[in-house]
Structure 1
Amino acid sequence: VKEIAIADELASAAELVIGEANEGIPVAIIKGYKKYVKDEKAGAYMLNRPIKYDLFV
């Protein structure tokens, strides 16, 4: 079972632009992402798996 954490993917891409040190770029603007759907039921809980499927336990 795989859930893609889109926000994490976008944050990782932004970090490549912003950098982790003194690059001097305080913000990144992400354009063109059109699949955003606001769902009141969506949340981080959807990424949690039952312990029997957890690979890191």
Structure 2
Amino acid sequence: TIRIKRTAIADELASAAELVIGQTNEAIPVAIIRGYPYPKSETANATKMMRPPEEDLFI
């Protein structure tokens, strides 16, 4: 059983976009995601998204 501590919202949105765009001959170059309540922050940066190695499933 996999337990989730943090939801990877960006991964979920990217997966949903891929379903719309397709992977081969669908010819849909872009997916626009509307309605996601993105929490804006003046202090957020990419460093806060980094997981420590002991929490990363893919290392």
Instruction: State TM-score, norm by structure 1.
Output: 0.67
Provide structure 1 residue ranges, at least 5 long, that are not aligned to the other structure. none
Calculate percent identity across the aligned residue pairs: 60
2:40 to 23, 38, 41: 38
Unaligned ranges ≥5, structure 2: none
Q: Which amino acid aligns with 2:39?
A: V
Give the total of aligned pairs. 55
Measured against aligned partners, the alpha-carbon deviations of 1:8-45 in whole angstroms (never above 9, x if no partner) come to 110000000000111000000111111x1133335365
What is the alpha-carbon root mean square deviation over aligned residues?
Answer: 2.5
Q: Does structure 2 retain, via aligned residues, the 8 Å contact 1:14–1:28?
A: yes
Task: Flag as ranges the 4+ runs of structure 1 deviating above 6 A.
Answer: none
Provide the C-alpha distance between the structure 1 equivalents of 2:14 and 2:39, rounded to a whole number of angstroms.
Answer: 17
* Structure with higher RCO (Cα < 8 A, 6+ apart): 1
